[in-house]
Structure 1
């Protein structure tokens, strides 16, 4: 270990910051590795003791983000994120601009009343879902979303910790604290400018989708259905009140024998709710009002409906989504060593053995119409349908089958959608605890993460996989830099220089200097650190100039949320680097105009809303 003289510690911190920023701009070194190098540099130069240099790993912000990522994974695995993403995607009507506006508006409004970091962590799986469906790439959406979350800090008092820091400092120095919506009008102007900028200019600078995305190249179940030339219609039928099927089992109904009607799944009303039964068996008893998802030859449909009082049923979006998560299809190849070779589908009792239906057989690339009694040969391909869980089990029978093609719907399956009510309750309680300050935010999030595992919305292994370790190491490695600057006197050097320059300057000129110094510190360190350091400075400067402290205090507030230009400036931005595959230059290019826009709003509007 080596050390530098104490009087050079501040300069050493500035050098470490500059080198780290330079390495990031080259985009050739992993950000988490740079963060580890920063920690080592602070320890080996003696600037910080070992415990202080490693303190970032125990920082509440790092723990908070890890917990929020687990909550986000819970929302994804239980289908909540899917529904939100589908709703936004559906109402955007295929317009990229409308999609961006809706996403930014939703994120900003939610972040205005709860933790912005929490909202971004929760929205990441939602955005990934939208990106997969639209084939537009997550990089086109994640950065605008995170920028909207940053701007939310300019909307309400509780949107971000720096706002509370600044309001508290005003109160400590004998001034009225800020109100909940004191600065919201200016924030709304900033948000409107962000949406306009992203829709008109920014979207053209965002990273494009990867054309090699194999998930988007998969075919749908309907495409497989058409390829096998299945002569059956997939339809939903509801059993009427006087149907002869009421009280009979599926086997007793003889629907397959009489009409070739195969029940794929059904839903029955249980205590006022429809309960889906994906894995149907012949002994299930049918009741009036049951909804059957069936495959039936089109020529037999009318006769089956009339004879059994069946009516066409149009399921809700929720029911359709549930079925797509439970019921699927796959194309498999008969293995040369399969025990099914030489047997027909009927003789092999395929449905009884595997709980799945075969709806098509292809041999030598030709579909075969009457395949039930066809003796199977090696390399015959089967179109198999049924519950995804049983399809997965079939795929594991690799001595009998080889998976030929998995449809696109397989990547959208939600493994724990039955736990959606539990996930909604957990998230709601977490949000309420955040809004009404029932518990510290970290405690609320950790309780939510534990509840997600206890209620089996996800298991512990899934929870660990949900954490973006690269993002956490990056954040933990950069947090000690703020302490290093303060302890070595680097912060004092900056303040002294500012006071010297501002001694004979006008109030408006001081506003400009305060804004850009706060923004610089925000983009290098963190918004909370910059607010803690700059709030008392801004108020002191106002008192020296003999003007109201509110314009400069609000300037610090807005600049502290303008962390647009670096991926380490805020956890809100750090979180989206990995899933969005962003480079350092992306933040410089897209963030610079936004920083100037926030400055323009501060320069023009703050003196109007908060007179000197």
Structure 2
């Protein structure tokens, strides 16, 4: 072992030790590595800083921007809505659907990109269902890594091993050669995470965080609104058809307060906020607040030509990106106490509906339009988020006490969602077809998002998580340093020399283990480049088929579950999940051993030795 290799291994051990301790921050450790590595004399400064121009680093930065574009246009939250709708209140069903969706999408595009896109989705879903993000973030990362085991094009190591087989004069792998084994590992991963999720949340994690903000569901429950929500469709023969709301007096005469209108237009459904001038059309679905759930309104519905429609979830939750709630108090200098809600003219003046009134901590029921306000009352108003924000500026008469957590999910560029989907489709198409490198495909998508005004430059720069990029850049030079000092070659020689007489399955297990361990310190693509020739040569020396040996190396290169720096996918979820270095070790190492066991058992069955 030469002195240069000792220096590199010592520096690597020091960096890993600091990662484990957790002080200083990981990105600071990466910067220390960038300063210290040229001092060893193994790499010069230019080689050490080459990671800043690495295509994968640029790709990750671009994917952060694309993910933010999907958030700003509301697509990410709609995907979260779909997950919530399908999962209901079941965290188990949510975890299964999440891992299946991530693995499926990651099988045809960059797993790093998929995870970057899903992070805001998972955070939003976790907030809505009041689940600790840590219980979902690591399953998200593991599903992204497993996606690399599903198809030939899912990850670069698969293509590297395939190319090495072709260079050796062999047929290589088909597009779906990985799929049977990958599906088995995906099923194992889902089962494992269903058991391990209870250990993902550390005691004290997030204790210093601010108390959770009220949600739409909390406000609806506080004012007993969820008992009064109804969806009513205007029949073609309804006397309300083609009438203006101000002229109908539905609230005063029938106890029906129209909040918003769902109107089918071409291929989509528009949500219209109800105002006094809103004209109802046949087929409209009215989102209404009835005066009291105890009032029998079936006769009124029939007389008005309204058909009750199913309502599986609160319509405020279903339309949370457009339709909001806010609690409003009356400040001491307000001139409103003594006036009725009807006299306030909320709908005409502020484009908002008063849907609840609390007095001395109790929600009042019945028709509220003639109720005189008292100084201690609080009102619940409903309407478009932009109108609620406008109400915050009227501090003389109104004090908006708090906005629900869903206000963070309001999509400022919601109308640009089709263009964001087009940009994403262009990127995926280019990545799958291979017409341009992945980084170019991602940059093209970023430019399209900007051209379509789905995202602006300021938002794009804010979307990039710079500590993650610095961490990746700081660890990349170790790959070249270990190669130049002979560290990787030394490990490979030990494998071939020590296991030449062992059985084929034991050699497969050793290949898997060595590949996974090397992948802790260098990129999985570089690991595949180094280990694929060794796997093929070992098979030929044993007189066996190279396919199972090459497949084992490819699977092991994707099994980067053991540390947060073994893959950019893990690094992405480190912050949002509030994990420490040791969390990945205690969850990832046992799972890697299980994946190794499954691989050693299944690979020879599908690719005979």
Aligned match of 2:449:
452
What's the offset of the Cα at 1:464?
3.0
Equivalent of 2:270 in 275, 287, 307: 275
Q: Which residue of 2 aligns with 1:491?
A: 488
Moved more, 542-551 or 65-74: 542-551
Measure, in 2, the Cα distance between the counterparts of 1:136 and 1:224: 19
Separation in structure 2 between the aligned mates of residue 283 and residue 96 of structure 1, nearest angstrom = 43
Distance 1:312 1:550, change over 3 A: closer
Which of 72, 82, 97 matches 2:67?
Answer: 72
**CA 1:439/1:93 → structure 2, altered by over 3 Å: closer, same or farther?**
same
2:354 is matched with 358
Q: 1:577: which partner in 2?
A: 574
Query: How far apart are 1:88 and its partner, in Å?
Result: 3.6
Please state if 1:196 is matched with 2:191.
Answer: yes
Output the CA distance in 2 between the equivalents of 1:548 and 1:117. 32
Task: For residue 590 of structure 1, report the CA deviation from its aligned partner.
Answer: 1.1
Out of 108-117 and 420-429, give the one that drifted further: 420-429
Find the aligned partners of 1:539 and 1:324 in 2 and give their Cα distance: 55
After superposition, the Cα gap between the structure-2 partners of 1:405 and 1:542, relative to the gap in structure 1 and judged at 3 Å, is same
Q: What residue ranges of structure 2 are gaps of 5+ in the alignment?
A: none
Match of 2:33 among 31, 35, 38: 38
Partner SS, residue 520 of structure 2: helix
**What is the rounded CA distance, in whole Å, between the counterparts of 1:208 and 1:407 in structure 2?**
27
Is 1:292 the counterpart of 2:289? The answer is: no
Which shows bigger deviation, 37-46 or 260-269? 260-269
User: Cα gap change, 1:233/1:204 in structure 2, threshold over 3 Å: closer, same or farther?
Assistant: closer
**Superposition deviation, residue 585 in structure 1:** 0.9
Find 2:180's aligned residue among 159, 175, 185.
185
Q: How many residues align?
A: 605
Match for residue 304 of structure 2?
308
The partner residue of 1:336 within 313, 329, 332 is: 332
Relative distance call for 1:143 and 1:220 in structure 2 (3 A) is: closer
Alpha-carbon distance, 1:560 to partner: 0.9
Preserved contact between residue 289 and residue 355 of structure 2 (Cα < 8 Å): no
The more displaced of 399-408 and 338-347 is 338-347
Q: Corresponding residue for 1:18? A: 13
Structure 1 match to 2:467: 470
CA contact (8 A) 2:63 2:116 kept: yes
1:252-271 equivalence runs, <5 A: 252-256=247-251, 258-259=253-254, 261-271=256-266
**Superimposed CA distance per residue, residues 13-50 of structure 1 (whole angstroms, 9 cap, x where no aligned partner):** 11111111111111232111111111111133333222
The residue aligned with 1:57 is 52
- Equivalents in 2 of 1:183, 1:16: separation in Å? 37
- 1:252-274 Cα deviation digits (max 9, x unpaired): 33434544543322233434543
Whether 1:129 and 2:124 are equivalent positions in the alignment is yes
CA 573–348 in structure 1, closer or farther in 2 if over 3 Å, else same = same
Which whole-Å deviations, capped at 9, do the CAs of 1:573-608 have from their partners, x for residues lacking one? 111111111111111111111222232234333344
**Cα distance change of structure 1 residues 216 and 414 upon mapping to structure 2, 3 Å threshold:** farther
Root mean square deviation, CA, Å: 3.4
Measure, in 2, the Cα distance between the counterparts of 1:605 and 1:225: 53
TM-score normalized by the length of structure 2: 0.88
* 1:239 pairs with 2:229: no
- Quote how far apart the aligned CAs of 1:568 are: 0.8
1:470-502 CA deviation, whole Å, 9 max, x = no partner? 222111111121122223333343344445445
| Structure 1: gaps (5+ residues) | 1-5
Of residues 389-398 and 354-363 in structure 1, the stretch that sits farther from structure 2 once superposed is 354-363
Q: Note closer, same or farther for the CA distance 1:440–1:334 as it changes in structure 2 (3 Å cut).
A: same
Q: In structure 2, the residue corresponding to 1:121 is in which secondary structure?
A: helix
After TM superposition, where is structure 1 displaced by more than 6 Å over at least 4 residues in a row?
Answer: 213-216, 229-232, 315-320, 368-371
Residues 96/378 of structure 1: CA separation in 2 closer, same or farther (3 Å cut):
closer
